[in-house]
Amino acid sequence: MADTKIHRASTTAPVNIAVIKYWGKRDPKLNLPTNSSLSVTLSQADLRTHTTASCSASFPAGDSLLLNGQPQDVSGARTQACFRELRSLRAKLEKQDSRLPALSKYPLRIVSENNFPTAAGLASSAAGFAALVRAIADLYQLRESPMDLSLIARQGSGSACRSLFGGYVMWDVGLEASGADSKAVQVAPAEHWPEMQALILVVSSAKKGVSSTTGMQTTVATSSLFPARVASVQQRMEEMIAAVKERDFESFGRLTMRDSNSFHATCLDTEPPIFYLNDVSRAAIRVVEGINAKAGKIVAAYTFDAGPNAVIYFEEKNASAVAGVFKSRLSHLEGWAGKGEGVTASATE
Ligand code: 2P0
């Protein structure tokens, strides 16, 4: 009898915010980076993508994807690469066991919801592709590990490979031209550093002006500062891993802020220049500088992705000195007052 059943699996994936940034591809087709990166996974209670993948022989031909209720184009090379790799792993299982339904041949229907602004520099593509890959892998009952799946998610969006794990996650630059070793690994689980918190200042939920993909390609092609950044990032990576392992917040914070500034410096050095930070972002930097000066040490660390929103890391014991000060200082600024909102996320889970 024909299989007309609807097969379905649902999952969620968290947002990750890099403290050592990915910016630059050595292979744009395979999303192979120019340097390793490291991120902190945010709590899914606050920021996450929820995705349901279904497939059925009874669906009309063609794969589809709905994001926040809007149909998305799935014909792009990145989405296609994810679908192709996952189908091929499922087809292998079906070949080994002929009793399995031929899900690899059925049209896929993906439905995703973000509980945060899409494409506003809040790593939406990271959680989005990670959830898409995991939902289809679950639907297909694949046995691949999160590390194996990270190789697939990376092809959807580079930073997505880091959203398949909780805690502190490194994406290894890898050496191979095939990309087979450019995967994500967990450096430490969330429980390792439960004191870590993140305050997210949503300065603007508008879609960003220059997409990360275009921006980083232009930086690689035109910035003379960029090679210096790549040359220094590996050393910073090693120091960051040590800081996480030792729960050394001062080193973690110093390296986080240095790396964010180095990344935005290469953006400004790009032709034409890319401005992700705005006046509210710069005000947030000054507030962090003030908090740290008052404490006499680094108790708060800012980082900015491809947009003006700030993520401030701090330890729970300094919550009132950091989150409290932010709320009182920034509330008078235009762009923050009214539409600005702060989300305090437990940094990891
Ligand atoms: C990061 N960003 O490490 C850096 C910091 C933005 C600034 O990863 O082209 O959306 O899809 O591989 O992953 C954003 O880049 O780029 C990003 P693609 P992606 O989080």
What is the predicted pLDDT for the residue at 11? 98
Of the listed ranges 113-117, 137-141, 233-237, 279-283, the one predicted with least confidence: 113-117
Q: Is 162 helix (H, G, I), strand (E, B) or coil?
A: helix
User: Which amino acid residue places its CA nearest to atom 14 of ligand 1?
Assistant: 212
Residue partners of 36: CB distance under 8 A and separation at least 6: 20, 170, 171, 172, 173, 233, 234, 237
Tokens representing 285 are: 């930097």
> Percent of the chain having pLDDT more than 70?
90
For residue 225, pLDDT beyond 90: yes
**Mean pLDDT value of segment 236-255:** 98
- Distance from the CA of 14 to the center of ligand 1, in angstroms? 15
What is the predicted pLDDT for the residue at 340? 38
What is the predicted pLDDT for the residue at 217? 97
Q: Is any atom of ligand 1 closer than 6 Å to the C-beta of 182?
A: no
Strand partners, 200: 311, 343
* pLDDT tens by residue, 307-340: 888 999 999 999 988 988 887 766 555 444 333 3
**Mean pLDDT value of segment 270-286:** 94
For residue 63, pLDDT beyond 80: yes
For residue 347, pLDDT beyond 70: no
**Mean pLDDT value of segment 186-210:** 85
Q: Is 282 helix (H, G, I), strand (E, B) or coil?
A: helix
What is the predicted pLDDT for the residue at 2? 77
- Distance from the CA of 159 to the center of ligand 1, in angstroms? 5
What is the predicted pLDDT for the residue at 209? 75
Q: Which of 128, 107, 138 is nearest to 6 (CA)?
A: 107
Q: Is any atom of ligand 1 closer than 6 Å to the C-beta of 31?
A: yes
Q: Is any atom of ligand 1 closer than 6 Å to the C-beta of 274?
A: no
What is the predicted pLDDT for the residue at 7? 98
129, 253, 248, 250 alpha-carbon torsion, rounded to 10°: 180
Residue 247, CA distances (Å) to 41, 255, 256 in order = 16, 13, 14
Q: Is any atom of ligand 1 closer than 6 Å to the C-beta of 159?
A: yes
For residue 76, pLDDT beyond 60: yes
The hierarchical CATH code for the domain 7-189 is: 3.30.230.10
What is the predicted pLDDT for the residue at 254? 98
What is the predicted pLDDT for the residue at 228? 97
* Better-predicted residue by pLDDT, 210 or 197: 197
Tokens representing 90 are: 């499922």
What residue spans define the domains of the chain? 7-189, 196-346
- Distance from the CA of 32 to the center of ligand 1, in angstroms? 11
Q: Is any atom of ligand 1 closer than 6 Å to the C-beta of 204?
A: no
What is the predicted pLDDT for the residue at 1? 63
Q: Is any atom of ligand 1 closer than 6 Å to the C-beta of 106?
A: no
Domains 7-189 and 196-346 in one fold: no
ipTM for the predicted complex: 0.98
**Mean pLDDT value of segment 108-124:** 75
Which of 133, 159, 161, 311 has most ligand 1 atoms within 8 Å of its beta carbon, as the pocket-test mutant? 159
* Better-predicted residue by pLDDT, 9 or 308: 9
Averaged confidence pLDDT in the chain = 91
Residue partners of 314: CB distance under 8 A and separation at least 6: 197, 199, 299, 300, 301, 321, 322, 323
Residue partners of 145: CB distance under 8 A and separation at least 6: none
Q: Is any atom of ligand 1 closer than 6 Å to the C-beta of 262?
A: no
Residue 206, CA distances (Å) to 14, 48, 122, 268 in order = 21, 18, 11, 21
Q: Which CATH class is domain 196-346?
A: alpha beta
Q: Is any atom of ligand 1 closer than 6 Å to the C-beta of 305?
A: yes
Q: Is any atom of ligand 1 closer than 6 Å to the C-beta of 158?
A: yes
